[in-house]
Structure 1
């Protein structure tokens, strides 16, 4: 993703920040996502969507652990988003964009919208980023078996 954001930075939304400081914040939140958000939401996706689809049992212990880890990460996000509109500041960035696909599954077919809705600032952030015209276009073009 960073490659494409850099390659096409002069076209459309500036996803990497306009200053070196903004770029640093984008990178910081991409790392938070990679090490804290993604592992938990990935396990939830595998257990709640893919295991049933392929006839494998759901590991309820892993689901519980992943729910707890994701909840703690979302609490950190809530704190951050109480101070800025988006993760890296008051501008939409790659740090926000990269959360959309898995979070779409979380609030949709996984039925865990409460994890977002129970956090005022995370909920407002999600409403903002998930209603961007570009994401709506992706949803139109890429139908998945999970919605």
Structure 2
């Protein structure tokens, strides 16, 4: 069991490192810009811990321009308890400005926020660290 936990830890920590380096390169080369929320999409889902409850998840469609090339990206815009909730419950409204970082060569865009840029490598690193702690110390201890 410890070997499996340590394997998961190594995989997650390696992924966190690779993605972290990619994001650092992206941030170094990307240009801060802003886009405009042009649409809010919604879908019914199940949210929360057990018991899972009905909810509506929202996605903001953000339009941005780089070198006369107009592009769109999607980003999370929150959720609301209940099915078929109105779009006014979303975190963003159509027409809102949205801060982005755009890579000039690839035109790839990410939200210009700590979680938008670093959330994935941070979460992978935390998960890998927890698996490592349990693999080295917590699991398999006998009384």
The alignment's TM-score, normalised by the length of structure 2, stands at 0.29
Normalised TM-score (structure 1) = 0.29
Q: Judging by fraction of residues, say which structure has more strand.
A: 2
Q: Determine which structure has more spread, i.e. the larger CA radius of gyration.
A: 2
